[in-house]
Amino acid sequence: MDTVLAPVPFEMAAVGSGGRPLPAEFFDGCQDPGRVIPRLVELARAMVDLESRELPILEAVAPAYRPSALNLVHYVALRQHDIRELQEQLACLGLSSLGRCEASVLTTLRRVLAILCALSGEDSGRRLGAETPLEHRAGLALAAGNTRRLLGEVGTIMVTLPAEAAADPALITELLEGGMTVARINCAHDDPRVWQRMVDQVRSASAATGRPCRIAMDLAGPKLRTGPIEEGPRLLVCKPRRDVYGRLLTPARLLFAPVMRPLKPPAGVDAVVPVSGDDWQRLKTGDVLQGVDASGRQRRFKVEKRLAEGLLLSCTRTCHFIPGLRFVNQAGISILVGVIPPQPGAVTLQPGDHLRIVAGTEPGRDAVLDARGAVTSPAVIGCTLPEVFADVKVGERIVFDDGRIAGRIVAIPAGPAGAAELLVEITAARRQRSRLRADKGINLPDSTLQLASLTSRDLEDLAFVADHADIVNASFLRCAGDVHALHEQLIHLGRPDLGVILKIETRQAFDQLPALLLAGMHHPAPLGVMIARGDLAIECGWERLAEIQEEMLRVCEAAHLPCIWATQVLEELAQRGTPTRAEITDAAMGARAEGVMLNKGPNIAATVRTLHDIVLRMQNHQRKNSPTFRRLELAAHHHPEAIPLSPAGCGRG
């Protein structure tokens, strides 16, 4: 057995030189160091005790991870205590307050203790914990090495590839040149054919540019989602632009086109209206069409231009189109509106409403009302994983669509084979009446779910991942057994070396984070963590998110494992082209992690460049949770003679 894992009894051992104590005035305003020593000894004893209790788990850790696993256990023991008062006393004495001890927890404490013994003139110190404690620089080296093995470098930028990246090599090249070092492919979307093209594009662009880029692929995991909903009406609405007073600014511009044409409006067109037949080809510029729309109102359309795709028309009124409407010009030539795709179905909810969540194929629908508007049957929606019904209890919370709608379970009607559905009372919605659509996330933050982390689809996708990816991102983990199950599958597929990132996105996973890390360390493959802040905020509460992400960064640092800061980083910049002040600050905070993940968006290339610049700048100011003092420009520009001698000195006089 390695000596680093051998439990060492807590005992006294000579380490001091019996030096003379410093004079009392040196400690003016500070706690007598001799009174601080017992508190440090208590903490060290707690570390040694937890190390002894965790010895079977530590012995099973892969040799390369054992010093890190031991350091993690020591850190967990330290954080089981409130040491804020002790930290203030240590800082008053000019010593380490243990606030940056993550890289080498026990060594830092032992050295502070030895200094205190010397300050107080004691002849004794303490031999605490492992025979070969981890040195601070050795801990930093382990963290750097684990980061290189998994991600390639500190300051990694992971980018979620959009589907169009499969056919756009220029986009991949632009992302690489902007600073992307890991390309992320989410297996919850698209299919193996699209993934293969993405992989080929990344490998080819990386070779052509000489910029290394690893490929990470997300398993979808057992994500709870809403089931299908009855289709909405086949309706197309188009409005002209008006000012705040309702005055017309620009007419609505409509492309009347044959049904085989794509329905996505081209630039400068507000909507594409599908038409049937060939009569539209007989119309010419300047013709005026009239008819009644779906609202029952007369509408007039002017033909502005003939295009290869169809007719460009304008209308000064809001128009509601449904299939079968007919509009006729002055010469009797008509246009018949063709097939309009149905609008996505949605269930409309507001606080106080009841919602049935059901298994099976029953499509979702709105509540059924009687002639007086009273509810005769509550709204219904399906659930993709109804097996969770057996794990929930009355009174527990349920959250939909990334927190937009929330409720509480008020009843669990039983069926022949157990819980058949859930009855939920809606308690919160972002608007007075919110619309819940199909395929939206469901979170059960109060429930202890027994779902396996690998679904049958994940097992199929994992075979592709093992053949093509450098990293697998494991979704919706809840316990150490989930981590072991993933590694067993990777061994079966012949990829025990594949890097693994544990996505922490449930409350159970956050509560079990040290255990998940120790389980991952049982295997020698590269290992890291992703802070999936979107789901964590829902599961643990938005008000706790800042605290949670801070705790996770520190725990991962104590384990010497790289951490990815994820979810909605620079989201406004990626989606709309302009960042908010808050998200710039958030991205700068994320630079303390070894990597930051960006989601896709129309402005993703510019977002990568901005993030790369932020990360490079912040690396000069911060290493993990430790500030670093580079030369400050504002300090370099300071000159004593520039200080005004009077209050008017900085004004115009």
pLDDT at 24: 57
Angle 484-489-493 from CA coordinates, rounded to 5°:
145
- How deeply is 533 buried, as exposed, middle or buried, from its count of CB atoms within 10 A (0-12, 13-18, 19+)? buried
Q: What distance in Å separates the CA atoms of residue 71 and residue 57, rounded to the nearest whole number?
A: 13
pLDDT at 8: 42
CB 199 within 8 A of CB 215: yes
Q: Band the pLDDT of 378: cuts 50, 70, 90.
A: very high
Q: Band the pLDDT of 649: cuts 50, 70, 90.
A: low
pLDDT at 648: 58
Cβ atoms within 10 Å, residue 634: 6
pLDDT value at 4 more than 80 = no
Q: On the CB side of 426, how many CA atoms lie within 13 Å of its CA?
A: 27
Helix (H) and strand (E) counts for the chain?
18, 35
Question: What secondary structure letter does DSSP report for 206?
Answer: H
**What's the distance, CA 334 to chain centroid?**
52
pLDDT at 131: 56
Provide the sign of the torsion angle of the four alpha carbons 188, 194, 196, 201, taken in this order.
Answer: negative
pLDDT value at 415 more than 70 = no
The residue whose two tokens read 């107080």 is 120
Q: Report the share of the chain in percent with pLDDT over 70.
A: 89
Q: Model's pTM, two decimal places?
A: 0.84
Please tell me the total number of residues recorded for the chain in this structure.
Answer: 653
Mean pLDDT of 464-479: 96
pLDDT value at 18 more than 50 = no
Cα separation values, 177 from 153, 180, 186, 332, 447, Å? 16, 7, 22, 59, 45
Q: What distance in Å separates the CA atoms of residue 525 and residue 199, rounded to the nearest whole number?
A: 22
CB 83 within 8 A of CB 98: yes
Three-class SS of residue 341? coil
Q: What distance in Å separates the CA atoms of residue 622 and residue 591, rounded to the nearest whole number?
A: 8
3-state helix, strand, coil in the chain (%, to 5): 35, 25, 40
- How deeply is 317 buried, as exposed, middle or buried, from its count of CB atoms within 10 A (0-12, 13-18, 19+)? middle
Q: If you average pLDDT over every residue of the chain, what do you get?
A: 88
Q: What distance in Å separates the CA atoms of residue 387 and residue 449, rounded to the nearest whole number?
A: 9
pLDDT at 420: 79
pLDDT digits (tens, 9 = 90+) for 31-88: 677 778 899 999 999 999 999 999 999 999 999 999 999 999 999 999 999 999 999 9
pLDDT at 652: 52
pLDDT value at 15 more than 50 = no
Q: What distance in Å separates the CA atoms of residue 231 and residue 345, rounded to the nearest whole number?
A: 4
Please choose, from the candidates 131, 130, 133, 127, the residue with its C-alpha nearest in 3D space to the C-alpha of residue 12.
127
Rounded CA Rg of the chain: 32
Mean pLDDT of 12-22: 44
pLDDT digits (tens, 9 = 90+) for 93-148: 888 999 999 999 999 999 998 888 887 776 544 555 555 578 999 999 999 999 99
Q: Band the pLDDT of 371: cuts 50, 70, 90.
A: confident
Q: Report the share of the chain in percent with pLDDT over 90.
A: 69
Q: Band the pLDDT of 417: cuts 50, 70, 90.
A: low
pLDDT value at 339 more than 70 = yes
pLDDT value at 588 more than 90 = yes
pLDDT at 309: 81
pLDDT at 114: 86
pLDDT value at 5 more than 60 = no
CB 408 within 8 A of CB 445: no
Looking at per-residue pLDDT, the higher value among 540 and 636 belongs to: 540
Looking at per-residue pLDDT, the higher value among 588 and 644 belongs to: 588
- How deeply is 129 buried, as exposed, middle or buried, from its count of CB atoms within 10 A (0-12, 13-18, 19+)? buried
pLDDT at 307: 84
pLDDT at 642: 60
Q: Which amino acid is at 105?
A: V
